[in-house]
Copies of this chain bind each other. A is one copy, B any other.
């Protein structure tokens, strides 16, 4: 398995829906969570120093963002603590499995920067050092400061944008509860294979409104985020996450070799489209 520096940097985002029911406060599916921890631990051992984990907030993150006062520029503050709790949960479980993992607060090394083409300023300290030392950085959504002093709730879907801004291009895999961008609406099983990050409008036609308890914009938020990542040169995928998978090591192989039986939506620059 690749552990050298030529191996792709892999940002693995695990959707909160895979271990928590957003509509139920405090919900955590212990069995699914433990299975996901095992998969991440295995992937880290196979790809040490090239893997970053981004966890969704599930019920914890969404709960902290519901019903905010739109007139209070600091209203999202509770999201800082809620996401820290989810990161720490991952770190303690990963530590139990022998993984050296460190939680990192996104808002402590990045900020909103409207003057930058990506809209973000971020530094590589100490992300790059953690990776060089073979430690798994564990990230999540967080609040980022804006130039006007307001806090912006930055969802875990957008966290890869910050990591790429800090570290450079990467492969981004978002594991969620659907197999990709569905072209037939809810319940459909037809998945859009490719989204051209320079011309994503056709893909947006397939995005529909999610439930009212979902504050992340769900698929639209994912698409926005991955288009932004791809425009920074990243190769991005939305796939269904399966806690009962044997392992996730296929994600380390060239995407052209991934089994055709595994649906996914790829979001990338047009040069990456497979004819």
A residues near B, CB below 8 A? 74, 77, 80-81, 84, 88, 91, 95, 100, 102-111, 121-123, 125-126, 129-130, 132-135, 143-149, 151
Contacts of A111 in B (CB 8 A): 125-126, 129
Closest B residue to A80 by CB, please name it.
B103
Contacts of A100 in B (CB 8 A): 74, 149
Q: List 13 A-B contacts (CB under 8 A).
A: A74-B95, A84-B84, A84-B88, A102-B145, A105-B105, A105-B108, A108-B126, A109-B109, A122-B125, A123-B123, A126-B145, A133-B146, A135-B145
Give Cα distance in the complex from A61 to B207, angstroms. 47
CB atoms of A143 and B107 under 8 A apart: no
Known contacts A105-B104, A108-B126, A129-B145; A81/B88 CB under 8 A: yes
How many whole Å from A164's CB to the nearest CB in chain B?
15
For the complex of A and B, 7 pairs with smallest distance between CB atoms: A133-B149, A108-B108, A111-B126, A123-B123, A105-B105, A109-B109, A104-B108
CB distance from A200 to the nearest CB of B (A): 29
User: How often does this chain occur in the complex, in copies?
Assistant: 2
* Nearest B residue (CB) for A109: B109
Contact of A147 among B103, B106, B109, B133 (CB under 8 A): B133
Chain B: CB-nearest residue to A143: B102
- Docked Cα-Cα span, A91 to B104, in Å, equals 18
Task: Give the docked Cα–Cα distance between A133 and B148 (Å).
Answer: 6
Contacts A84-B84, A91-B77, A143-B102 given: A134-B109 contact, CB under 8 Å? Answer: no
Chain B residues with Cβ under 8 A from A81's Cβ? 88
Cβ contacts under 8 Å, A130 to chain B: 145
Question: A130 CA to B146 CA in the complex, in Å?
Answer: 9
Asked, given contacts A84-B84, A133-B147, whether A102 binds B107 with beta carbons under 8 Å apart, the answer is yes
Please, which residues of chain B bring their CB within 8 A of the CB of A148?
133
CB contacts (< 8 Å) of A122 on chain B: these are: 125
Question: In the complex, which residues of chain B have a beta carbon less than 8 angstroms from the beta carbon of A125?
Answer: 109-111, 121-123
A134 proximity list for chain B (CB < 8 A): 149
